[in-house]
């Protein structure tokens, strides 16, 4: 995991909750401990939200707020509503809520369309389990289904993958772009997940056909590009195990 992706994940981190035990947050926290710049940013980020939360808790409720609201109700009269104490108290509370909303908005990460974010999102979702659009052992039927959905179907499979039975396939989305997923059955309830995307949809995708390997959670991912397609193959085991399904 790189520091940019770790920062995006840490923006959602809630201290004092079960987030620390989540593998995704744990990996991001570990990256923050390795990267001094990221660690400094994370400390400031937490301090900022702690300050906002503490100030909001210290905001006193105006005395007699309930009575003021009831007293302001006059069916037979038309009060100058903006001068009523109740309205002024509510306006102050609304302003604080608005301030918190603005602070939350500006603290949110910008839309990350990097290849690292693409690969991490798809592989981590694979660990949680994808719902297959089509379930079959026939790789040809999976390819035909993907083509009918307008997804990438002209992918080239390494020879070892062509020898495996399929488990199913699906069309997933990345920022409204279609990505093909082909699932291969390794037996013993283990699978290999192949994602195929248009290279044009991933500006910083790998430029070489030689696979690059990275560990994402419990899976090892290999990524490469051939022609106008970018591939990500994820599976259990180490780099040597996954590489065995890419060799001719």
Choose among 66, 202, 39: nearest CA to 121: 202
pLDDT reported for residue 91 = 67
pLDDT reported for residue 11 = 81
Distances (CA, A) of 200 to 17, 174, 196, 197: 40, 13, 12, 8
| Distance in angstroms (rounded) separating the CA atoms of residues 241 and 225 | 20
pLDDT reported for residue 18 = 77
Please give the order of strands across the beta sheet that includes 190-198: 166-174, 177-187, 190-198, 229-235, 219-226, 212-216
In this structure, what token pair is assigned to residue 185?
Answer: 């059955």
pTM of structure: 0.58
Choose among 48, 89, 60, 56: nearest CA to 72: 89
pLDDT reported for residue 27 = 83
Q: What residues of the chain score a pLDDT lower than 50?
A: none
pLDDT reported for residue 79 = 57
pLDDT reported for residue 84 = 64
| Distance in angstroms (rounded) separating the CA atoms of residues 159 and 239 | 18
Report helix, strand or coil for 237.
Answer: coil
């Amino acid at each position: 995991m790189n520091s940019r992706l770790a920062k995006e994940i840490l923006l959602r981190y809630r201290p004092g909750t079960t987030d620390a035990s989540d593998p995704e947050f744990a990996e991001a926290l570990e990256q923050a401990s390795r990267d001094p710049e990221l660690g400094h940013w994370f400390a400031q980020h937490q301090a900022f939200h702690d300050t906002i939360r503490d100030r909001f808790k210290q905001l006193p409720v105006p005395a007699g707020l309930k009575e003021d609201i009831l007293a302001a109700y006059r069916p037979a009269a038309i009060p100058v509503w903006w001068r009523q104490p109740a309205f002024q108290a509510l306006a102050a509370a609304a302003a604080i809520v608005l301030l918190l909303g603005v602070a939350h908005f500006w603290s949110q990460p910008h839309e990350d369309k990097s290849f690292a974010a693409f690969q991490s999102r798809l592989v981590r979702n694979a660990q949680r389990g994808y719902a297959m659009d089509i379930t079959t052992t026939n790789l040809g039927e999976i390819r035909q289904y993907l083509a009918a959905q307008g997804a990438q179907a002209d992918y080239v499979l390494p020879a070892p993958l062509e020898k495996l039975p399929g488990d199913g396939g699906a069309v997933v989305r990345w920022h409204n772009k279609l990505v093909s997923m082909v699932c291969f059955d390794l037996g013993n309830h283990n699978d290999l997940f192949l994602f195929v995307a248009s290279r044009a949809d991933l500006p910083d995708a790998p430029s070489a056909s030689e696979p690059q390997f990275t560990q994402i959670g419990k899976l090892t991912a290999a990524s490469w590009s051939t022609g106008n397609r970018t591939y990500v193959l994820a599976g259990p085991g180490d780099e040597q195990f996954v590489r065995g399904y890419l060799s001719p």
